[in-house]
Chains A and B, each alone.
Chain A
Amino acid sequence: MKYCVAACFAALLFLSNLSSLRAQQDSTVAPSPSAAPDFGQIQGNFQAVFQTYNQDSAISAVVPPEQSTLNAFTNLIYTRGKFSAGMRYESYLPRQVGYPGRFAGSGIGYRYASYTMDELSVTIGNFYDQFGQGLVFRSYEERNLGLDNAMDGIKVAYQVMPGFVVKGVYGKMRFNFNDGLINTDSYVRGIDGEINLNELITKFNESSTSITIGGSFVSKYQRDNRSDLVLPENVGAWAGRFNLYRGNFGMSAEYAYKINDPSADNKYIYHDGQALLVNMNYTTKGFSLNLDGKTIDNMSYRPDRTLQITDAMINYLPAMTTQHTYLLAGTFYPYATQPLGEVAYQAEVGYKVKKNTKLGGKYGMDILVSSSQAYAPDKEVVNDLETTRLGYTNNLFGTGDQLYYADFNATVKRKFSKKFNATAIYYNFVYNNDVIAGARQLNGEEVVGTVYADVFVLDMNIKTKDKHNLNLVAQYLSSDQHQGDWASLQAEYSISPHWIFAILNMYNFGNDIKDDRLHYPFGSVTYVKNANRISMEYGKRRAGIFCVGGVCRPVPASNGLTVTITSSF
């Protein structure tokens, strides 16, 4: 099948090439570039990450038996007028250490063709899409993280009238790759409608209030494969949502409901699932206030009830905490939604101190304060495993006693002169590792209890001369739990627009275990030309989201050499 797709694609391109060659010959006779026929266009991108691994038992670095790994992909998209076709060739030879297990070998992992005619657009093959905020359906990819739940089937979108769009999706979901795409056996189908009142009703066109409403229904089918339980083979979920904006005020909400869906995630209980997301924001020039609230109960939803972790998820349950980019704040104690249930809040205030004031100086100063908490849901366990198997009773809008996570942070950013600016940030994290289970010791031992951590970051930019810039980042993490105190210092020297040199060291000086008071030195050289980028990195790394050379990318723990090439064409 995959050979056929690639061959058909090659044939298609070959034909367009032949005709364009002919066109070129013609044009030597009568050169008229303005009347050049449209042969469509090819675009694409490429990424390859080659990594070698050194033995390093001190940091428990994993060395694969092959000693080197290669993750690569190429996307090709052919577009001609309203027609478009594309494919992705993927290679995991073998996959990078730390990359999820569902990626092996080389082959075509994604291919599609689509066309748009007037109000109708049709896609066959693979596609990604989401309904509303994704509470009942989101098909998504994040290649650097190893997340890919592409749909494989048919998608149809139809604009019934201006301001009213209906979308339908039907297919199987990707869950594995082994020299080619492997989908789950089960089916996922869904329909979504969205109405923008301002476009739909002419009277509202010029209104200062803008309102969008939407609703979706999704269903999955999987055969009942258990003899001891009677399982629902068709599991439906629906959601309703609205967005409202008036002047400086905005509000959005989405509610989702799922019927009982016994699965490995919820230990095969017959409880239904619910989720609610609410956001309110108020902004004026130089000021912003953002409030979020969320409650989730038993909303894990997969095409295959036996799958877990990040395998084939039909929906998306966003975490209501900020994703931090600095090393010690972002990669140590990050939070992920607990799909079985949680209640979370977030408040964020941004303020820009005006220019030419005492506090703001010549250029002004930015202040951002943010606070978020996630709690256990309000539920009571019921011992009914031999009877109704509902598992618990709950109050969706109540908050349980247990704190899962808290993050308070304050950022101050100020430009002092044309040559110098600085950012200072304070963070406070409370991380319940009994629930989130992300923090481990170097030997893999689990950390019991809650981790409390304070993090301080100072980021300074010094323009040394025209197009030359020195960026210094000093970070300090203070904690009495887990691995104790850490410090890190990073220096990055860039010569725009081509070169970036960086060195970094992280030092776990406060670890209770003396042998684990280790340094993690790291260096990199990056060359950028337009959309081509080559970087070489060498050193020791903890797992996490890494931001060096101007780009943020999640990487696993390792000790060794990494060569990354990315390109868009």
Chain B
Amino acid sequence: MKSILSLSLVLLFAVSISAQSGTKKLPAVNVKDLKGGTVSTGKFNNNGKPIVISFWATWCGPCKKELNTIAEEYSDWQEETGVKLIAISIDDTRSASKVAPYVNAQAWDYEVYLDSNQDFKRAMNVNNVPHTFLIDGKGNIVWQHNNYSPGDEAELLEQIKKLTGK
């Protein structure tokens, strides 16, 4: 009973504080690049232009559909909005070695990082993949979407355009 009480207190304050603070900053957690180097997510930047962060895995069909669909239009998106897409693979050791070959075979132009023990996934409060975030030029999380159905990429592009005012 006590724990339920304290939990509801926590929830109440959590809701009120997040309502006040409004914007949420990108957390700083270490991820690995495809060559084994360590990169802090706090250093993700695109020179003041928006960033899309997409959580995916090689075993997740809808994730691959989403990223392959965007890949076809990615150069247009970049030209129009200057957006950069960062794909975060949550593949663990079992399939992490397949990420680089898959990315190259698909000829993706994204920045790709490995989050093998899900530190970044936890910090971003991702339940399931695919989960896609839009980050504005100042590093604030401004939009997110959990799921992928064909056509969702249009909604994402609209949100990006809203940010860049185009």
User: What separation, in Å, do the CA atoms of A38 and B24 have in the docked complex?
Assistant: 12
Task: State A196–B36 Cα separation when bound (angstroms).
Answer: 8
Whether B97 and A290, one on each chain, are in contact in the complex, defined by CB atoms closer than 8 angstroms, is yes
Q: With contacts A77-B123, A550-B62 known, is A39 near B21, CB below 8 A?
A: yes
Measured in the bound complex, the distance between the Cα atoms of B36 and A14 in whole Å is 42
B8-38 interface (Cβ within 8 A of A): 9-11, 13-14, 16-18, 20-21, 24-25, 27-28, 34-38
Give the distance in Å from the alpha carbon of A324 to the alpha carbon of B59 in the complex. Answer: 6
Write the nearest CB–CB distance from B134 to chain A, whole angstroms. Answer: 10
Cross-chain contact A3 with B20 (CB below 8 angstroms): no
How distant is the Cα of A16 from the Cα of B14 in the complex, in angstroms? 10
Distance (Å) between the CB of B125 and the closest chain A CB? Answer: 4
Binary flags per residue of B97-110, CB closer than 8 Å to A gives 1, else 0:
11011101111000
A550 to B35, CA, bound (A): 30
Taking CB as reference atom, which chain A residue is nearest B117? A130
A463→B125 contact, CB < 8 A: no
By a CB distance below 8 angstroms, the chain A residues around B20 are 17, 20, 24, 39
Complex contacts, A533 vs chain B, CB 8 Å? 146-147
CB of B43 within 8 Å of the partner chain: no
A426 to B39, CA, bound (A): 38
Q: Give complex CA distance A239, B140 in Å.
A: 40
Distance A318 CA – B35 CA, assembled complex (angstroms) = 20
Q: Which of B7, B37, B97 contacts A281 (CB 8 A)?
A: B97
Interface presence of B111 (CB below 8 A):
no
Shortest distance from the beta carbon of A505 to any chain B beta carbon, whole Å? 19
| Count class of interface residues, chain B | 35 or more
- A506 close to chain B: CB less than 8 A: no
Decide if A198 touches B125 in the complex (CB within 8 Å): no
In angstroms, Cα B13 to Cα A20, docked, is 12
**How many Å from the CB of B62 to the closest CB on chain A?**
4
- A10, A140, A495: the one contacting B13 at CB < 8 Å is A10
Our pick among B38, B105, B131 for the contact of A352 (Cβ within 8 Å) is B105
Contacts of B21 in A (CB 8 A): 20, 39-42
A16 touches B35 (CB 8 A): no
Stretch at the interface among A265-273, A303-311, A392-400, A464-472: A464-472
Contact for B119 among A128, A134, A250, A568, CB less than 8 A: A128
Q: Is the CB of B151 within 8 A of A550?
A: no
Beta-carbon contacts of A160-202 to B below 8 Å, as 1s and 0s?
A: 0000010000000000000000000000000000001011000
B147–A286 touching, CB < 8 Å: no
Contact indicator B145/A130 (Cβ below 8 Å): no
Docked complex Cα distance between A468 and B149 (Å): 9
User: In the bound complex, do residue B104 and residue A318 qualify as a contact, i.e. CB atoms below 8 Å apart?
Assistant: no
Roughly how many angstroms separate A463 CA and B104 CA in the complex, as a whole number?
27
Q: Which of B46-54, B75-83, B88-96 contacts A (4 or more CB under 8 A)?
A: B88-96
A288-B102, A351-B105 as given contacts; A16 in contact with B147, CB under 8 Å: no
Which one of B94, B100, B106 lies within 8 Å of A366 (CB-CB)? B106
Compute how far the CA of A467 lies from the CA of B156 in the bound complex, rounded to whole angstroms: 13
Binary per-residue interface labels of chain B (141-155) against chain A in the complex, 1 for a CB within 8 Å, 0 otherwise: 001111111111011
Please, what's the 1-or-0 string for B117-135, where 1 marks a CB less than 8 Å from any CB in chain A?
A: 1110011111111110000
Q: Of the candidates A210, A211, A283, A494, which one forms a contact with B149 in the assembled complex, judged by CB atoms under 8 Å apart?
A: A494
- Is B2 among interface residues, defined by CB-CB distance under 8 A? yes
A567 to chain B, nearest CB (A): 8
Is there an interface contact between A497 and B145, defined as CB atoms closer than 8 Å?
Answer: yes
Query: Are A469 and B149 in contact, with the CB atoms below 8 A?
Result: yes
Could you tell me which residues of chain A, from 369 to 387, have a CB within 8 Å of some CB in chain B?
A: none
**A528 touching B104, Cβ below 8 Å:** no
Interface string of A117-148 (1 = CB under 8 A from B): 00000000000111001100010110010000
B24, B38, B97: the one contacting A252 at CB < 8 Å is B97
Docked-complex contact B92 and A316, CB < 8 angstroms: yes
A202-225: CB near B (< 8 Å → 1, else 0) gives 000000001110000000000000
A497 to B150: give the CA distance in the assembly, Å: 9
What's the minimum C-beta distance from A364 to chain B, rounded to whole angstroms? 9
Q: Interface of B with A (CB < 8 Å)?
A: 2-4, 6-7, 9-11, 13-14, 16-18, 20-21, 24-25, 27-28, 34-38, 59-62, 72, 92-98, 100-102, 104-107, 116-119, 122-131, 143-152, 154-155
Q: Which 10 A-B pairs have the closest CB atoms?
A: A496-B151, A288-B101, A350-B105, A494-B149, A283-B104, A45-B125, A6-B6, A318-B94, A467-B151, A243-B36
Q: List 18 A-B contacts (CB under 8 A).
A: A17-B13, A40-B21, A41-B21, A43-B27, A133-B93, A138-B117, A198-B37, A210-B35, A283-B100, A283-B104, A290-B97, A467-B151, A467-B154, A469-B151, A471-B150, A500-B149, A552-B59, A568-B146
A residues with CB within 8 A of B = 2-3, 6-7, 9-10, 13-14, 16-17, 20, 24, 39-45, 47, 74-77, 79, 84, 87, 89, 106-108, 116, 128-130, 133-134, 138, 140-141, 144, 165, 196, 198-199, 210-212, 243, 245, 248, 250, 252, 277, 279, 281, 283-290, 292, 316, 318-320, 322-326, 348, 350-352, 363, 366, 368, 461, 463, 466-469, 471, 494-497, 500, 526, 528, 530-533, 547, 549-553, 566-569
Given contacts A6-B9, A461-B150, 10 further A-B contacts (CB under 8 A): A7-B6, A17-B17, A42-B17, A43-B18, A134-B93, A469-B150, A496-B155, A497-B149, A528-B145, A531-B131
